[in-house]
Structures are given as structure tokens and as C-alpha cells.
């Protein structure tokens, strides 16, 4: 394969990637948001058994307890559920209002397989031993429900980071289902995966996307979680659980733990901070999913997070990440740039060969390969570093979309690296730096039309990247600037070498 063809492949790959990302941003995202809004219009109590439960009137449900912590506020209702979980941090607020993470089916809701017990459970209030808790470190609350044939106790210990320990104590063994709640619907958008996740004791994952849910049972689960882009509600247990997935009317997954005994679980509601989740238990790391490209995104985030803890700024951490990537790829990049310089020097001889053997492609290929070999030029050498950067670039894109750590992270004039640059300064700098790099980079185009298209790419990419996360554009701009510096050094080196 000759060099112009490889350039076509790389250009096509990059343009395709940008096209599909923009398509999902402007076409798929509005559809997903509409679906999510429709899902949350009504509060239906769905059944996971043969039992039919009528719609619960929210007018008859009271708030019986409130837990106020530094970063969140919880309200518990008379059905023993977490009726509200609001984040009390400025970066999560919407239009000045605290962000609500509870939607549709509420966390800690219990449903019974026995129809009579189930009906009574949704008509009988729980009693709380505490009305108000101002949480500093941890605190325990006990909820009691006395049914005609059964007494239910929920003993919940809340912690300041948003996780809780749950004990369900029944006066006798009966078959029941308890849920960590519907996935939060606070951040459902474009490329992000949202739905439910089951992690098994053998570390395998079952990810059920919204719209794809089917009835299923898993007897070997240790984590069940509902999640959207940034937030999650989950149960975790060191002992295997029986997990039930039930599709709602939109085929979105509702998840439950099924048992007929007393049970102890760890739960969590809140942002998918990697440090918080792994601090609860390292098994919870898989709740932070990045969709396609999770392997690259997760490992890049580990490196980026390590850099952030050193430099204390996500923007500076991204710049240092680019520097590290450039250092790792430097040997290949150096060889590629030298090869491109040599190919430019060989352009007149290549043109002669093309004229001489234009009717014999096989001989033309043979003589061109011979020419490359004699002068130590590799037509693919300049493309390999770029090809290797594509998965890294894609991983950065994914981690910027999914990592809540970067939500609200500021850098210079940018207030949120996970959102677009409000002043379009970075996209313009990216386009200018891309153009300058093109001017310095030796080229060997044989097709004038291809050369014109290549020259317009900086302008095209400037407009395409204008709505992308600022952190991603910062990565690319920094990469371009380092490429310019490196190309200038190599061009100077080759000129000195040629004159020597």
C-alpha cells in the first residue's frame, strides 16, 4: 500500500469518527432525553412476579424521616423507600436546584411474591425510630412495618460518602424482592451507555441497556446497579445474590434482589466517582463503564487521575498526559517524520518512475519499493504513530464523556472541561495549530484534489470540534503544538544532515 492510500484511510477514519459522534450528539441525544422524560412522567409500581399491584398514589405517601449530610439530603417515605436523594454540591445543581437522583421505582422498595402480603405492604405505613439525622460520619435508622402476618424491619446505616449498609429482618421467611431503585436519569445523553449492570462473582459483566431489557435471573451476582452517564444506584454483597432483571413498559431494566431470608447488603446512591466506589469496595470499579473503548478509557483515566493528584488541576493533567504519550511514541514518531522527509526528497524520482511505468503497475510498484529501500524511506512510517494515537484519542474522548471527576473542572477560561469551550478559543487554536503542523510536515501528494482536501481539514475539524468537550480539544491542541515543535526540530536536523 502506498502512502497516499494510507493517508486516505487515516483521514476517512478520523472524519467518520467525528461524523458519528456529532450525529449522536444532535440526533440520538434528543431522542434519548425524550424517552427518559416520558419514562419519568408517571410513578408506576411494576411487578416482578405474578402479583398485580395497582398504581400507588403519591398523595397518600408521607415523608417519615430525613437524613442531612454535607453533600446530600435523603428523604424516606412511609413505604420504607428512599423517596428522594438530592446532591448538595454546586457543580451538580440545575438552575439553582439540587440534583435529584431518585426516579420511578425507588430504592429499598420491597415487593412480596404472596399477593395478600404484597397488597398489605403497599397500604401499611412504616414507622421510623428517628425523624431527623444530621449526619457527620455515620448514623443508623430503623424502619418497621407491621403487616397482618409479618413484621418487616429495615436497619440502615448511612455514611457520609453516600453509601449505606442495609439489613432486612423479617419475622418469618417469605419470598420477596428488594431493589436499589431505577437508574438515575439526571445525565442521559449521546454516546453514553445507560441502563443496568450485573457483576458476577467470576468478574463477568452483564450490561443491559435501556430498551434492551428482557426477563432474566442470575443466581451468582455480587453487584447489581442502575446507572446513567454520571450517577448510579446499586447493591453490593460479598456473598452471591439472586438478581432479577425485569423490563418495564419501555423495555428499560428494573433490577431486584430476590430471597426468602433475612439479608445484609451494601448500597450506594450518587456520582460514579472512581475513588469513592473503590473505597467502598474494589469490585465496584466496573460500575464506571465507558461504553466501547472501556479498556483504553479506564487505563487512561487511572493515569490521568494520578497526574491530577500531583498537579491538582485536570487541564494541566491532560497536558502532562499528552506529553507522556508523545514521549512513549517518540521513537516511532521520529522514524516516521524522518521517513516523510525522505519521501518528499524522493518525490521527483517517484514522478519519473510513474511516468516511465504508467502502463505497468507491477513494475512501478517494484521500482518504487526498490527506491524506498535504497534511501531508507518507509511509506507507512509516517502513518503508524497517527494510527497508534487513534485509540488513545478515542479513549480520552470516552473518559471525558463519562468521568464525573471532570464535570465542573476548570482550566483558565474554561469552567467545565467535560463541556464545550463557551468562547470557542480552543477549537480555533486547534485548527491553527493543525494548519501550522501541515505547513511544516513534508508531503508527497500525487493527486491535486487529495492535497486540496487535506489542506481544508484544519478548517473542517475546527467546526467539528467546536461542540466537543473542551478537555478533548485541549488534548488535541496540545498534541498539535508538540507535533509542531518536534517537526521543526526534525526538519532542522535533516537540513543540517543534508548539508554536512
Q: Are strands 151-159 and 138-146 parallel, antiparallel or unpaired?
A: antiparallel
pLDDT for 11 beyond 70: no
* Average pLDDT over every residue of 140-161: 97
For residue 467, the model assigns a pLDDT of 86
Separation between Cα atoms, residue 188 and residue 108, nearest integer Å: 23
Q: What is the pLDDT of residue 313?
A: 95
Condensed to tens digits (0 to 9), the pLDDT of residues 208-229 reads: 999 899 999 999 999 999 998 8
pLDDT at 444 over 60: no
- The ranges assigned to domains in the chain are 3-26+298-499, 41-288
Instruction: Give the C-alpha separation, 489 to 493, whole Å.
Output: 6
Q: Other C-beta atoms within 10 Å of 236: how many?
A: 23
Which CATH number is 41-288's, of 3.30.1490.20, 2.70.98.90, 1.10.10.10, 3.40.630.10? 2.70.98.90
Cell 543540517: give the residue.
Answer: 496
What are the pLDDT digits (tens) for 275-291? 999 999 999 999 998 87
Tell me, what's the pLDDT at 45?
38
> Which among 151, 127, 152 has a CA at the least distance from the CA of 141?
127
Q: How many CA atoms lie within 13 A of 65 on its CB side?
A: 25
Between 119-123, 142-146, 269-273, 368-372, the lowest mean confidence (pLDDT) is in: 368-372
Taking only the tens place, the pLDDT of each residue in 168-186 is: 999 999 999 999 999 998 8
pLDDT at 19: 57
Q: Which residue has the higher pLDDT, 258 or 93?
A: 258
- Taking the C-alpha atoms of residue 230 and residue 339, their distance in angstroms, rounded to an integer, is 44
Q: What is the DSSP string of 142-210?
A: EEEEE-SS-EEEEEEEEETTSEEEEEEEESS---EEE---SPP-SS--TT---EEEEEETTS-EEEEET
* Least confidently predicted of 63-77, 136-150, 315-329, 391-405: 391-405
Query: pLDDT confidence of 42, banded at 50, 70, 90?
Result: very low
Higher per-residue confidence, 2 vs 448: 448
Cell representation of residue 66: 430525613
Please provide residue 472's backbone torsions phi and psi, each rounded to the nearest 5 degrees: -70, -45
Most confident of 22-26, 244-248, 336-340: 244-248
pLDDT at 351: 75
Instruction: Tell me, rounded to whole angstroms, the distance of Cα 494 from its chain centroid.
Output: 43
The model's confidence at residue 76, banded by pLDDT at 50, 70 and 90, is very high
Collapsed DSSP state (helix, strand, coil) of residue 50: coil
Confidence of residue 140 (pLDDT cuts 50, 70, 90): very high
% of the chain residues with pLDDT over 70: 82
According to the model, what pLDDT value does residue 295 have?
Answer: 85
Q: Tell me the HSE value of 399 on the side-chain side, using a 13 A CA sphere.
A: 27
The C-alpha cell of 145 is what? 412495618
- Average pLDDT over all residues of the chain: 83
pLDDT in tens, 339-384: 777 777 777 777 777 777 777 778 877 877 777 777 766 666 556 6
**Sign of the C-alpha dihedral computed for residues 277, 281, 286 and 287 taken in this order:** negative
* Per-residue confidence (pLDDT) for residue 316, from 0 to 100: 96
pLDDT for 108 equals 97
Amino acid at each position: 500500500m502506498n502512502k497516499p492510500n494510507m493517508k486516505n484511510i487515516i483521514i476517512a477514519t478520523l472524519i467518520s469518527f467525528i461524523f458519528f459522534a456529532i450525529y449522536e450528539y444532535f440526533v440520538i441525544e434528543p431522542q434519548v432525553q425524550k424517552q427518559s422524560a416520558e419514562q419519568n412522567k408517571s410513578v408506576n409500581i411494576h411487578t416482578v412476579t405474578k402479583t398485580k399491584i395497582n398504581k400507588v398514589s403519591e398523595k397518600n405517601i408521607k415523608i417519615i424521616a430525613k437524613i442531612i449530610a454535607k453533600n446530600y439530603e435523603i428523604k424516606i417515605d412511609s413505604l420504607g423507600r428512599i423517596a428522594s436523594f438530592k446532591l448538595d454540591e454546586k457543580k451538580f445543581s440545575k438552575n439553582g436546584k439540587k440534583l435529584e437522583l431518585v426516579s420511578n421505582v425507588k430504592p429499598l422498595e420491597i415487593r412480596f411474591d404472596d399477593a395478600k402480603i404484597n397488597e398489605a405492604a403497599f397500604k401499611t405505613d412504616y414507622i421510623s425510630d428517628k425523624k431527623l439525622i444530621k449526619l457527620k460520619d455515620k448514623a443508623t435508622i430503623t424502619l418497621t412495618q407491621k403487616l397482618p402476618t409479618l413484621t418487616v424491619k429495615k436497619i440502615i446505616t448511612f455514611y457520609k460518602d453516600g453509601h449505606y449498609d442495609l439489613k432486612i429482618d423479617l419475622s418469618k421467611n417469605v419470598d420477596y424482592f428488594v431493589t436499589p431503585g431505577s437508574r438515575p436519569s439526571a445525565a442521559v445523553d449521546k454516546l453514553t451507555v445507560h441502563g443496568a449492570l450485573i457483576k458476577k462473582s467470576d468478574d463477568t459483566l452483564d450490561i443491559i441497556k435501556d430498551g434492551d431489557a428482557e426477563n432474566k435471573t442470575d443466581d451468582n451476582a455480587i453487584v447489581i446497579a442502575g446507572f446513567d452517564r454520571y450517577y448510579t444506584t446499586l447493591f453490593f454483597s460479598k456473598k452471591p445474590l439472586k438478581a432479577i432483571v425485569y423490563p418495564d413498559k419501555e423495555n428499560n431494566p428494573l433490577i431486584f434482589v430476590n430471597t426468602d431470608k433475612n439479608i445484609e447488603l451494601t448500597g450506594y446512591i450518587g456520582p460514579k466517582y472512581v475513588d469513592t466506589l473503590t473505597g467502598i469496595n474494589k469490585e465496584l470499579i466496573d460500575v464506571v463503564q465507558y461504553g466501547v473503548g472501556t479498556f483504553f478509557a479506564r487505563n487512561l483515566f487511572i493515569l490521568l487521575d494520578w497526574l491530577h493528584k500531583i498537579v491538582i488541576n485536570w487541564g494541566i493533567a491532560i497536558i502532562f498526559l499528552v506529553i507522556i504519550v508523545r514521549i512513549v511514541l517518540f521513537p516511532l514518531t521520529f522514524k516516521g517524520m524522518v521517513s516523510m522527509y525522505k519521501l518528499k526528497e524522493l518525490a521527483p524520482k517517484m514522478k519519473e518512475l510513474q511516468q516511465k511505468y504508467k502502463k505497468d503497475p507491477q513494475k512501478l510498484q517494484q521500482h518504487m519499493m526498490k527506491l524506498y529501500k535504497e534511501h531508507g524511506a518507509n511509506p507507512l512510517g509516517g502513518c503508524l504513530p497517527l494510527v497508534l494515537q487513534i485509540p488513545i484519542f478515542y479513549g480520552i474522548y470516552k473518559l471525558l464523556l463519562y468521568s464525573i471527576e471532570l464535570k465542573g473542572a476548570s482550566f483558565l477560561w474554561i469552567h467545565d472541561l467535560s463541556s464545550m469551550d463557551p468562547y470557542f478559543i480552543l477549537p480555533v487554536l486547534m485548527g491553527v495549530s493543525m494548519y501550522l503542523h501541515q505547513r511544516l510536515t513534508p508531503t508527497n501528494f500525487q493527486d491535486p484534489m487529495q492535497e486540496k482536501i487535506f489542506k481544508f481539514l484544519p478548517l473542517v475539524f475546527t467546526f467539528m470540534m467546536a461542540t466537543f468537550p473542551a478537555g478533548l480539544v485541549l488534548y488535541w491542541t496540545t498534541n498539535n503544538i508538540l507535533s509542531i515543535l518536534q517537526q521543526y526540530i526534525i526538519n532542522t536536523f535533516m537540513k543540517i544532515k543534508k548539508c554536512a
